[in-house]
Amino acid sequence: MNTRRDFLKSSALGTGALMLPASISNASSALDAGQPPMRFIFMHKGNGLFPSVMVPPSLGPADMAKENKKESFEVDLDKHELPKWMSPLNSHKNDLTILQGLSGKMCTNGHHSWQSCLGVYAANERLSSIKWATVDFELAKLFPSPLEHIELACFPIDGGNARGNIHGIEKGFSARGPQQPNYAFGSPKVAINELFKSIANNESGRIRYELERKLLAFTAANQSARGQELAGLELAKVKNYADAMEDIRARNRKLEAMGGIIAKNIPKLDKKYFADDLSTIDCQIGHTEILLSALISGMTNVVAFTVDELGTLYTGVPGLETEKINLHDVGHGKGFGKLNANEIREAIRIRHMTLIDTIVKRLKSVPEGTGSMFDNTMLCYFADNGETHHSTGVEWPYLVMSGKNAKLNIAGRYIRLPYWGTEGHKTIGNWFTTILNAYGNPIKHFGDLDLGLNKLIAEQTGPIKRFMS
């Protein structure tokens, strides 16, 4: 069994998923002939990520002195212990990067960032604040797929993006383009029901899908006919709507052609993951299975996953199963049960690392080319609002998992870049520019600039050249 196709033909691995209605990307692909695509996973959390918890505890006195002064340096992780909460990743040290020193003061900071953390601009609840497509959608254009992109979220009960319909389909944390928010699945139940209806194995599901398909065909034709009677702005609106309907139909045709592979990779989830009162921890586990399905079956190459947000009411945390943990209160130092606020933060991060371990192990088990699917994968884990609960964006820590075919020379290292305001400092805009440049988008700089840096450093545009292979 030497290829991913062979694996898909014989595997009972239970995972496979799709996305909401999405326009099919017409962008040129970054794929080389015969080469598998790169996959990207953007996994972000709320309530900040303290830079202090990212530091390997085994740093020597000289390096620790640099760390305390936030001076630039780097060390190989195979010579050091990981922080305790990263222990689920101990077997993946060679694929791990702990990246410190980036900033994001041009983004919305404080409690929430909305699309800021992936778009690198100041965003808020108003759609007019969305300036352009977020970086995950730009990468999806470089590696086209039937679904382009999927987004999964454990939505907050208040604040942030979702309000009320937290287990359904709501505005997400990514953006397709100017004033175009993406939409995310808030529960494994709704994701599976929506994404796998094209291969429904029960009569009601098949009937529902056929009715929706006929409705799409009728709507697309009807809107095209209406366009003949209109002009100007109204004509443009109707044409965009008709084109969107046709894009959905084109996507569905592609998925129908993949029916065999999709059917073999439907998530094998226990019934508890379909409950309406699913705990936060179980929701994360279910979403992880769907994420893996989407990648392994080839439905998408890019996934955004909000594991929690500041307003997420956490339930199911090991040792605190009976507690409903308010992350905002944790951010203000409140403990729950027998754990203080910092211990709760660590317990939650450990759960996140367990999810990442599941993702990496599963992708390493899928043969692709001369290696595995993980060889062609990059996963970024970070806080959506920067360094702490009331963040300022002066620091924005990242944890990165990357396979051997990734085009960035960073794996297996703890890297601290120059601190904000010092020469050589880099922002998350530089970081995303680096990723985009490495994979075929020659953009000069992604995102807004930090105007406060203009008088402190000579240049803040462009990629981080030392990371380029």
Looking at the fold, whether 106 and 247 belong to one and the same domain comes out as no
Classified as helix, coil or strand, 411 is coil
Assigned token pair, 184 = 């995310």
Q: What is the pLDDT of residue 251?
A: 61
**Structure confidence by residue, pLDDT tens digits, 192-251:** 887 766 544 555 554 444 444 444 344 445 545 555 554 555 555 545 545 554 555 566
**Bridge-partner residues for 303, per DSSP?**
41, 150
Identify the domain containing residue 258 by its residue range: 199-264
**Do both 157 and 188 map to the same domain?**
yes
Are 43 and 159 part of one and the same domain? yes
**Chain-centre distance for alpha carbon 423:** 30
Q: Tens of pLDDT along 351-403?
A: 999 999 999 999 999 999 999 999 999 999 999 999 999 999 999 999 999 99
Residue 85 to residue 71: CA distance in whole angstroms = 24
Torsions phi, psi for 170 (to 5 deg): -135, 165
Q: Which amino acid is at 433?
A: T
Whether residue 408 is found in the same domain as residue 306: yes
Rg (CA), the chain: 22
Of 264, 285, 316, the domain-final residue? 264
**Helix 280-296 vs helix 188-195: crossing angle, to nearest 10:** 30
Cα–Cα distances in Å, from 5 out to 117, 281, 297, 366? 35, 32, 10, 10
Residue 374: CATH number of its domain? 3.40.720
In eight-state DSSP terms, residue 349 is H
Considering 248, 264, 280, which residue would you say is the last residue of a domain?
A: 264
φ/ψ of 314, rounded to 5, equals -75, 130
207 and 298: one domain? no
Q: What is d(CA 317, CA 330) in angstroms, rounded to the nearest whole number? A: 14
> Domain check: are 131 and 241 in the same one?
no
Structure confidence at residue 17 (pLDDT) = 31
Give how far Cα 331 sits from Cα of 163, 306, 312, 340, 401, Å: 21, 18, 12, 11, 27
Indicate if 373 and 361 belong to the same structural domain.
yes
Q: How far apart are alpha carbons 92 and 77 in whole angstroms?
A: 10
pLDDT at residue 393, as a whole number: 96
The total domain count for the chain is 2
pLDDT at 198: 52
Q: pLDDT tens per residue, the chain (469 residues)?
A: 445 444 444 333 333 333 333 333 333 456 565 789 999 999 999 999 999 999 999 999 999 999 999 999 999 999 999 999 999 999 999 999 999 999 999 999 999 899 999 999 999 989 899 999 999 999 999 999 988 999 999 998 766 555 557 888 888 999 999 999 998 999 999 888 877 665 445 555 544 444 444 443 444 455 455 555 545 555 555 455 455 545 555 666 666 666 666 667 677 888 888 888 899 999 999 999 999 998 998 889 999 999 999 888 899 998 898 899 999 999 999 999 999 999 999 999 999 999 999 999 999 999 999 999 999 999 999 999 999 999 999 999 999 999 999 999 999 999 999 999 999 999 999 999 999 999 999 999 999 999 999 999 999 999 999 999 7
Matching residue, tokens 């709760």: 344
Both 339 and 462 in one domain: the answer is yes
Domain identity same for 141 and 236: no
Calculate the dihedral angle through the C-alpha atoms of 266, 271, 276, 278, rounding to the nearest 10 degrees: -90
Q: Do residues 277 and 256 share a domain?
A: no
Question: Does residue 225 share a domain with residue 345?
Answer: no
Distance of CA 122 to the CA centre of its chain: 19
Report the alpha-carbon distance of residue 419 to residue 397 in Å, rounded. 12
Question: 355 with 345: CB under 8 angstroms?
Answer: no
Q: What's the confidence (pLDDT) of residue 261?
A: 67
| 0.95 exceeded by pTM | no
In this predicted structure, what is the pLDDT of residue 6? 45
- Of 232, 264, 296, at which residue does a domain stop? 264
Same domain, 309 and 457: yes
How far is residue 103 from each of residues 32, 73, 74, 289, 386, measured CA to CA in Å? 33, 17, 18, 32, 8
d(CA 387, CA 110): 10
